[in-house]
């Protein structure tokens, strides 16, 4: 659900851009909207990003308008929004994985949300003022794209969008603007922060037709919730190989979004809910050939599923064999108030001093990004093989093979210099349920194309020689 926001810009920075900037300058140079702004043509072929978008879409609907009435139906619709030749390698197996993860999420949420009573906030799409759920004009606060003006302006070549120069102006008053323009003769004297006209700007002996464009901090908040005490929290979903809590105290996305929330919303944001879903299929408790429940601690099941199976077999836990009771206790020990190995949430806060430091870091990095003499050298690591779509181009650049490099970039295109994260091409092909398109039966959703899904007996083996990894968070 996209919040209406007129404060968009042709040039933005995001937390992901900042991470790439710190990680590898050459990759940042190819990807950033401040530089070449390139993306791969066609649909996303990185299975991790494709799957991450799938889970986010399912949560967006389920915790928002809930048009599909079940997140698994949303996953079915997402999968079918792609033609067969557009689906990335491994999409069928990840569909099965997603069904398992979403099934467990609904059970997990019912149990863990009893104390907090988190509910999706509803907002006025123009002012962000809180409104009652379902009120006329109100929308659920899911997938909120935001743009925060940084008061840094770029002088851009009107022909190729290359940044020629940049300057800071906080727009305090008309008098300040006049003083500012007098101190910066390179800026047209009739410029204002809201104007978008083209100007003639002399650089040395060369005249350029230029535009003056502001830079914004851009992001998308997965969800805003209200707890039982009326406090507002930002909420973010992550899918990864395993939950990582060590990074949360310093996570730059958490810090940046809480910094942004303080500038955006007319209500105080109390903290950040960081919910992590591991990419594992949750299974029914394993049974031996004899039919008895297994006590194998490696099986991917949960305390609640095991307890339910014990009750079905023995009516009460007390009647179960001692080894099963001990195993049940072991499973209980693996769970924490924050969750278990499959889903956990952590509640994070930042102090005012940390928020201030975040702003200082953002401006410090931006100043470095806008350095016209910045040399964008690579920082190769073992992650390049799976994490970087430009790896081949990086090698060709070092080889100075200009012809092969030009051929490689034929598969890439410049992003449109309009920011709208929710206008993904696949969204145009989502079949929303309505009078003409009734809800897909859950039997169809659950058993969809089972011949393409890896069997449980072989699930630890690559299918058809294909091996995939869950290294990237999405």
pLDDT band, residue 17 (cuts 50/70/90)? very high
pLDDT band, residue 450 (cuts 50/70/90)? very low
Q: What is the gyration radius of the CA atoms in the chain, in angstroms?
A: 26
Task: List, for residues 307-351, the tens digit of each pLDDT value.
Answer: 989 999 999 999 999 999 999 999 888 888 888 889 999 999 999
Q: Which residue has the higher pLDDT, 146 or 46?
A: 146
State the pTM of this model.
0.85
Neighbours of 95 (CB within 10 A): 22
| Ranges of H-type helices in 63-129 | 71-79, 91-116
- Report residue 92 CA to chain centroid gap: 22
Going from the C-alpha of 409 to that of each of 40, 388, 416, the distances in angstroms are 9, 14, 16
Backbone dihedral angles phi then psi of residue 255, each to the nearest 5 degrees? -65, -45
The SS3 call for residue 457 is: helix
Average pLDDT over residues 353-365: 97
pLDDT for 436 equals 87
> How many percent of the chain have pLDDT more than 70?
89
Rama region for 9: left / alpha / beta (φ>0; ψ in -120 to 50; rest): beta
Mean pLDDT score across all residues of the chain: 87
pLDDT band, residue 148 (cuts 50/70/90)? very high
pLDDT for 303 equals 86
Residue 373 pLDDT greater than 50, yes or no: yes
Residue 359 pLDDT greater than 50, yes or no: yes
Domains of the chain are: 11-143+220-278+344-380+413-458 (3.90.320), 283-339 (no CATH)
Could you write out the three-class secondary structure of 355-392?
HHHHHHHHHHHHHHHCCCCCCCCCCCCCCHHHHCCCHH
pLDDT for 465 equals 33
Residue 289 pLDDT greater than 70, yes or no: yes
- Are 16 and 257 in contact, with CB atoms under 8 Å apart? no
pLDDT band, residue 169 (cuts 50/70/90)? confident
Task: List, for residues 59-79, the tens digit of each pLDDT value.
Answer: 999 999 999 999 999 999 999
Helix axes 91-116, 71-79, angle to 10 degrees: 160
């Amino acid at each position: 659900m996209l919040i209406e926001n007129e404060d968009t810009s042709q040039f933005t920075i995001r937390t992901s851009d900042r991470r790439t900037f710190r990680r590898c300058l050459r990759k940042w140079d190819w990807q950033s909207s401040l530089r070449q702004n390139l993306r791969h043509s066609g649909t996303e072929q990185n299975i991790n990003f494709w799957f991450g978008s799938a889970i986010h879409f399912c949560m967006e609907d389920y915790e928002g308008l809930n048009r599909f009435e079940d997140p698994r139906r949303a996953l079915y619709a997402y999968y079918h929004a792609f033609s067969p030749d557009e689906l990335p390698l491994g999409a069928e197996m990840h569909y099965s994985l997603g069904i398992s993860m979403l099934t467990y999420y609904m059970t997990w949420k019912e149990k863990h949300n009893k104390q907090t009573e988190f509910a999706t906030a509803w907002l006025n799409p123009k002012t962000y003022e809180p409104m009652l759920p379902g009120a006329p004009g109100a929308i659920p606060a899911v997938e909120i794209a935001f743009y925060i003006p940084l008061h840094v302006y770029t002088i851009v070549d009107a022909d190729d969008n290359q940044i020629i120069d940049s300057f800071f102006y906080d727009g305090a008053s008309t008098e300040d603007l006049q003083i500012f323009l007098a101190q910066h003769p390179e800026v047209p004297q009739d410029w204002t922060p809201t104007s978008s006209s083209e100007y003639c700007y002399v650089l040395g002996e060369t005249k350029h037709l230029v535009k003056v464009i502001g830079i914004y901090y851009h992001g998308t908040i997965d969800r805003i919730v209200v707890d039982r005490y009326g406090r507002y929290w930002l909420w973010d979903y992550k899918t990864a190989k395993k939950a990582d809590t060590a990074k949360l105290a310093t996570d730059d996305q958490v810090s940046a979004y809480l910094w942004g929330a303080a500038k955006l919303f007319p209500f105080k944001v109390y903290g950040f809910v960081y919910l992590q879903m591991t990419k594992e299929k949750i299974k029914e408790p394993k049974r031996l050939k004899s039919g008895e429940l297994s006590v194998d601690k490696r099986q991917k099941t949960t305390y609640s599923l095991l307890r339910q199976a014990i009750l079905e077999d023995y009516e009460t836990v007390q009647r179960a064999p001692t080894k099963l009771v001990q195993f049940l206790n072991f499973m209980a020990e693996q769970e924490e108030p924050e969750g278990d190995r499959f889903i956990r949430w952590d509640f994070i806060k930042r102090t005012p001093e940390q928020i201030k430091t975040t702003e200082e870091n953002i401006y410090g990095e931006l100043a470095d990004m806008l350095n016209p003499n910045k040399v964008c050298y690579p920082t190769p690591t073992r992650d390049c093989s799976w994490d970087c779509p430009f790896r081949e181009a990086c090698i060709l650049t070092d080889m100075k093979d200009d012809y092969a490099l030009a051929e490689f970039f034929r598969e890439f295109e410049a992003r449109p210099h309009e920011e709208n994260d929710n206008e993904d091409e696949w969204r145009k092909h989502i079949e929303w349920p309505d009078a003409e398109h009734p809800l897909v039966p859950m039997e169809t959703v659950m058993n969809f194309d089972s011949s393409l899904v890896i069997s449980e007996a072989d699930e630890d083996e690559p299918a058809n020689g294909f091996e995939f990894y869950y290294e990237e968070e999405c």
